[in-house]
Amino acid sequence: MKAVTYQGRKKVEVKEVRDPGLENKDDILVRITTTAICGSDLHIYHGLIPGMYDDYVIGHEPMGIVEEVGPDVTRVKKGDRVIIPFNVSCGQCFFCQNHMESQCDNSNDNRDTGGYLGYSDTYGGFMGGQAELLRVPYGNFMPFVVPKEAELEDEQILFLSDIMPTAFWGVDHAGVKKGDTVVILGCGPVGLLAQKFAWKKGAKRVIAVDSIDYRLEHAKKHNHVETYNFEAIKDLDKHLLELTKGGADVVIDCVGLDAKRTPMEKIETTLKLQGGSLGAFEMAANIVRKFGTISVVGVYGLTYNMFPFGHLFERNITLKMGQAPVIHYMPELFKWVQSGEIDATDIITHRLPISEAERAYRIFDDKDDHCIKVVLKP
């Protein structure tokens, strides 16, 4: 089959690789119909995820048609249309049973972290979904089966695999409520969707920050938020503090590590625990109000020794973070999509065949051609 493979820093290659097969009795095999590139894939692309190696198949936002099921699978059958969440989860362990599927104990031999599809040996070693075929473990728990009668295009529901539940969770577990002022850092796909959900939760004011003008314009046009360019406005954090009269109730960091603005030497130094800037997180810490909440959805994944512990402690800040347990939110959000209450298709700017994945990664990484989200078709 054709698949998008990692080939070292800033190199992906579409290659002919061996078809995956069923390995466990409850595995399923899915023929991918649509998939996407995630901001998290850029961390891989930038060589920041340990445990990647050449020819590793990337991708964790897939959907498709069930091609084959193992003998123990009862939940789905050949021909079913399924959306696959990025978190590998068994459905049986303490974490899965308590809606913390992103930390499933049976998804990674290294139990320090959950396992994710297409995200290196560090995160379970599962091959990814930017491919023609995908092996999905735990076929009785992981796949979300799209009801036959649902008249929805792939693009309307694809993002249930990751960024839609992720954005919702970022808002939900931060406890955004009616009347809140919410600042959302980053106007990538995740930030843009978080803006929509912040309104849904009843926020009275939603402020978006980025430095890419076309993304800020998109946020203003589609989500009716106030927008600020942190590169154009000097001391934006001070400005936002004044504007919000003491800080935001909730700040959602939808950026994480930005390899574009953090020179590689600095990232490497940071990795060696010798310092480094926290970028967006630093701003979050500066603009949250006393007793406010910071919700970190952007992936950091490194050790920092510049963490503003005292600054947060002194002001009673609540900090929430991590990989979203997306499975838990898929059914509810599916209904929202079906009823038209939420529509995420405005963020799709590029549709490319998987054979053009190299170009797709370049465009998404360079924020070229007004790119926001790239959808790939095998």
Which stretches of the chain bind ligand NAD, using CB under 6 A? 38-40, 42-43, 162-163, 166, 185-191, 209-212, 215, 230, 254-256, 258, 261, 279-280, 283, 297-299, 323-324
Q: Is residue 227 at the binding interface for Zn ion, with CB under 5 A as the rule?
A: no
E strand or H helix at 64, and its extent?
strand 63-69
Residue with Cβ nearer ligand NAD (156 or 227):
227
**Binding positions for Zn ion, 161-220, rule CB under 5 A:** 162
Q: Which does 328 bind (CB under 5 to 8 A by kind): Zn ion, ligand NAD, none?
A: none
First to last CA, the chain: 10
Residue with Cβ nearer Zn ion (184 or 236):
184
Q: Which does 78 bind (CB under 5 to 8 A by kind): ligand NAD, Zn ion, none?
A: none
User: In this structure, are residues 189 and 347 in contact, taking their beta carbons and an 8 Å threshold?
Assistant: yes
User: In this structure, are residues 312 and 253 in contact, taking their beta carbons and an 8 Å threshold?
Assistant: no
E strand or H helix at 205, and its extent?
strand 205-210
Q: Which does 299 bind (CB under 5 to 8 A by kind): Zn ion, ligand NAD, none?
A: ligand NAD
Whole-angstrom distance, CA of residue 162 vs CA of residue 159: 6
Q: Is residue 40 at the binding interface for Zn ion, with CB under 5 A as the rule?
A: yes
Least separation, in Å, of the C-beta of 57 and ligand NAD?
18
Could you write out the DSSP letters of every residue in 229-252?
Answer: ETTTSTTHHHHHHHHTTS-EEEEE
Q: Which does 188 bind (CB under 5 to 8 A by kind): ligand NAD, Zn ion, none?
A: ligand NAD
Q: Which does 43 bind (CB under 5 to 8 A by kind): ligand NAD, Zn ion, none?
A: ligand NAD
Q: Write down the H helix ranges in the chain.
A: 39-45, 94-97, 154-157, 163-172, 189-200, 213-223, 236-243, 264-271, 280-287, 309-313, 326-339, 357-366
Q: Which stretch binds Zn ion (CB under 5 A): 4-12, 156-164, 189-197, 209-217?
A: 156-164
Residue with Cβ nearer ligand NAD (127 or 280):
280
Residue with Cβ nearer ligand NAD (212 or 337):
212
Least separation, in Å, of the C-beta of 313 and Zn ion?
31
Q: Which does 143 bind (CB under 5 to 8 A by kind): ligand NAD, Zn ion, none?
A: none
Q: Is residue 34 at the binding interface for Zn ion, with CB under 5 A as the rule?
A: no
Whole-angstrom distance, CA of residue 218 vs CA of residue 347: 8
3-state helix, strand, coil in the chain (%, to 5): 30, 25, 45
Rg from Cα positions in the chain: 20
Whole-angstrom distance, CA of residue 47 vs CA of residue 235: 31
Least separation, in Å, of the C-beta of 367 and ligand NAD?
7
Give the footprint of Zn ion on this chain (CB under 5 A): 38, 40, 162
